[in-house]
Each structure stands twice: as C-alpha cells, then as structure tokens.
C-alpha cells in the first residue's frame, strides 16, 4: 500500500554532550525531508515520545549497556506511532507500533525493531508506561530480583514515577507492606489513596531515616531504587537480614558534574547478608510478553492503575525532559507530538 509521503520531518539532534542538566544548546532542532522506506523498513508517524531517565545516560560518552547517541544523531527515544508506509511484511499503513522511534515527527526504521500495539485495548501512552518498558522494568525488577514474599516490607523510591508506581502496586498484590518515597504531599497522597500503598514518605519535607524507621518497623526486605544518593544510603541503613536491593536507576545522580555519590552505607550489605543487584530491562525481552499479559490482566480487574503525564508539542522536548530530573512528572512522562 502506497500513500503520498509527508514532506518534512522535524527532529531533535544531540548537538553537544551535556555537562549537568541538558540545556537548550545541547540540542539542534532541525527539519529534513522525509525519505521513503527501503526494503525491510517502515515509515512511522510518531504520535507519542517516551521521556525516560535512561535517556540522560544515553547522552554521555563511554561504555554502558548500549552505545551512546552520537553527536549530530537524532536523540534516541522510545515512542509509539502509526505506520505511514511499509516495506516490511509484518506491518501495513495504519498499524500502530512501538519501538525506538527517536525524538522526531517521522521515523524510518527497520520493521524488525517494531512491535504492534492495539489502540482498542489501552490508550496509546499506556504502551510507553505500565504496558511498556517502565512496567516491564518494574515487573521483573521486583519479582525476579527483589523476590518479595507475602508479609515482607518493600520500599520503592521514585514511587510516583512510571516504574515506582507499578513496583508498589505489584508488591501489594503479592501481600507485602509497601512504603513509597516521593517528592511532595500530592504525590504521597496519590500513592496511599489511589494506589493503595501502606505509607508514603515525602523526601522533601521528612527526615528519610526517621520516616523509614517509623513506617518499616520490621526493616526493609526489598528496596527498589530509582533515585540513588541520600535515598539509597537511608534505605541501606535500615535493611532487614537477607534484604535485596534492586538498582534500577539513580536519577539523583544523572546530572551530576561531580562523581557519582557512592552509597557510604554499603557495608550494611555485609552486616545484613544483603544483596544489591543491577537491572537492565532489555535482558527480559524473551519474557516481555508474559509480563505485559499478566499486568494487562491486573489492569482489567482494577488491581493495577496507571497514570500518564502528557506534555504536548514536539518543540517542547528539551523542557519536558527536564521535568523528570526536577521530579515534576506525576506518573509516566510522555510527549505528544
């Protein structure tokens, strides 16, 4: 099926490697003409772009779990869109797909990197949140690495974020006591009143260590960390014997211009015979579908709630991304193109 191609593709290129928080001059907002897909490729109109903390890491030089974005390249991002033209047998114009589409209006990508999604089953942004990378991260990070048992205490930082909210709700489904750490009274109310957390700690106004002692009288069996820094140290100081610490991210450290703050309380791992383990969700690709199916089932039964924070306008990408690092997003942060 062939349709007239759109003319222009507006996009954000990485212009410089940021020092600290990404600033306007680290981006180049340009337009290029749209090219027809080659054999095996698909042209996708990008509808929603996922804004994730991991993107900050992709902007740095050096070895990581995937190569950095090169200077002058379209900024890497997960997204969801509609197929405009396809030369891949698996996709036809009109299909809705998700994959690494980049921060742009139109993505010409290999069909092998795309997954079809059904817009009738869930709102499209949800496939970038609970039914996407953050949800699957929460699912395997908690269940495979955290291994919570009924009656145990699970603490999650960044609890009102895309990953944290899912972690806490799944831990509740597994019969745990769940305490969330988030910034601000609104987020804390949301965690307890809407998502069913047992308690929430506002790190902006409360003493973290004292609050953890208060809300976790039996110490912490599973700490799921999205934040790092002081938050990680406070949790380490209150581990239960045999605790599991899941290192999912460290958003407090990503814009550091000084070296990362290492967890000074790491010897708590020794005292408590505890384990700290890192997680990269890409390792779970073979079991991705299992996680999505189970979470979709919980959603259908009202046991798993999702929330997206949608910012509109591709041109607002640089400022929208910063909301993550300021803790201004509430739920999964998504840019509507």
Binding site for a second copy (CB under 8 A): 63-65, 228, 233, 247-250, 253, 259-280, 283
d(Cα 53, Cα 197) in Å, to the nearest integer? 23
| Neighbour-count burial for 78-102, b at 16+ CB within 10 Å, e otherwise | bbbbebbbbebeebeeebbbbbebb
Q: CA-based angle 300:291:89, to the nearest 5?
A: 100
**Measured from the CB atom, is 112 or 260 closer to a second copy?**
260
**Measured from the CB atom, is 124 or 274 closer to a second copy?**
274
**Measured from the CB atom, is 111 or 146 closer to a second copy?**
146
d(Cα 164, Cα 296) in Å, to the nearest integer? 17
d(Cα 228, Cα 158) in Å, to the nearest integer? 10
d(Cα 11, Cα 14) in Å, to the nearest integer? 10
What is the smallest separation between the CB atom of 27 and a second copy, expressed in angstroms?
A: 25
d(Cα 13, Cα 69) in Å, to the nearest integer? 9
**Measured from the CB atom, is 103 or 276 closer to a second copy?**
276
**Measured from the CB atom, is 171 or 250 closer to a second copy?**
250
What is the smallest separation between the CB atom of 163 and a second copy, expressed in angstroms?
A: 13
Q: Which residues 6+ apart lie within 8 Å of 171 measured at CB? A: 142, 146, 148, 154, 156, 178, 222
Q: Closest by alpha carbon to 322, among 9, 107, 27? A: 27
What is the smallest separation between the CB atom of 15 and a second copy, expressed in angstroms?
A: 25
What is the smallest separation between the CB atom of 278 and a second copy, expressed in angstroms?
A: 3
d(Cα 32, Cα 44) in Å, to the nearest integer? 15
**Measured from the CB atom, is 202 or 233 closer to a second copy?**
233
What is the smallest separation between the CB atom of 80 and a second copy, expressed in angstroms?
A: 26
d(Cα 219, Cα 263) in Å, to the nearest integer? 18
Q: Is 334 in contact with 55 (CB distance < 8 Å)?
A: no
What is the smallest separation between the CB atom of 269 and a second copy, expressed in angstroms?
A: 4
**Measured from the CB atom, is 72 or 259 closer to a second copy?**
259
**Measured from the CB atom, is 48 or 223 closer to a second copy?**
223
What is the smallest separation between the CB atom of 136 and a second copy, expressed in angstroms?
A: 15
Quickly list H helices, the chain.
Answer: 54-58, 133-140, 162-173, 185-189, 208-215, 229-236, 268-271, 288-300, 317-326
Quickly count: other Cβ atoms within 10 Å of residue 216's Cβ: 23
Q: Is 220 in contact with 212 (CB distance < 8 Å)?
A: yes
Q: Answer positive or negative: Cα dihedral of 278, 281, 286, 289.
A: positive
**Measured from the CB atom, is 89 or 259 closer to a second copy?**
259
What is the smallest separation between the CB atom of 274 and a second copy, expressed in angstroms?
A: 6
What is the smallest separation between the CB atom of 233 and a second copy, expressed in angstroms?
A: 7
């Amino acid at each position: 099926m062939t349709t007239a191609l759109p003319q222009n593709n507006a996009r954000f290129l990485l212009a410089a490697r940021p020092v600290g928080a990404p600033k306007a001059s680290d981006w180049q907002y340009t337009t290029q003409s749209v090219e027809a897909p080659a054999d095996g490729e698909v042209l996708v109109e990008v509808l929603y772009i996922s804004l994730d903390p991991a993107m900050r890491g992709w902007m740095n030089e050096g070895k990581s779990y995937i190569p950095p974005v090169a200077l002058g390249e379209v900024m890497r991002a997960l997204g969801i869109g509609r197929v405009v033209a396809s030369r891949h047998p698996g996709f036809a114009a009109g299909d809705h797909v998700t994959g690494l589409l980049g921060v742009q209006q139109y993505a010409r990508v290999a069909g092998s990197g795309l997954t079809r999604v059904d817009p009738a089953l869930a709102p499209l942004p949800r496939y970038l949140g609970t039914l996407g990378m953050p949800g699957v991260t929460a699912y395997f990070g908690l269940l495979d690495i955290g291994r919570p048992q009924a009656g145990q205490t699970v603490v999650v930082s960044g609890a009102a974020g895309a990953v944290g909210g899912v972690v806490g709700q799944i831990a509740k489904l597994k019969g745990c006591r769940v305490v969330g750490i988030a910034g601000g009274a609104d987020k804390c109310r949301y965690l307890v009143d809407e998502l069913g957390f047992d308690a929430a700690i506002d790190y902006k106004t409360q003493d973290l260590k004292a609050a953890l002692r208060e809300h976790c009288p039996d110490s912490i069996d599973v700490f799921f960390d999205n934040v790092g820094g002081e938050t990680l140290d406070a949790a380490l100081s209150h581990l239960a014997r045999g605790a599991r610490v899941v290192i999912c991210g460290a958003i407090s450290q990503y814009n550091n211009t000084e070296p990362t703050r290492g967890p000074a309380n790491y010897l708590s791992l020794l005292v408590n015979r505890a384990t700290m383990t890192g997680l990269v969700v890409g390792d779970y690709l073979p079991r991705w579908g299992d996680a999505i199916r189970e979470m979709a089932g919980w959603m259908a039964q009202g046991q798993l709630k999702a929330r997206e924070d949608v910012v509109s306008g591709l041109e607002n990408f640089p400022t929208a991304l910063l909301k993550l690092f300021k803790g201004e997003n509430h739920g999964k942060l998504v840019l509507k193109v």
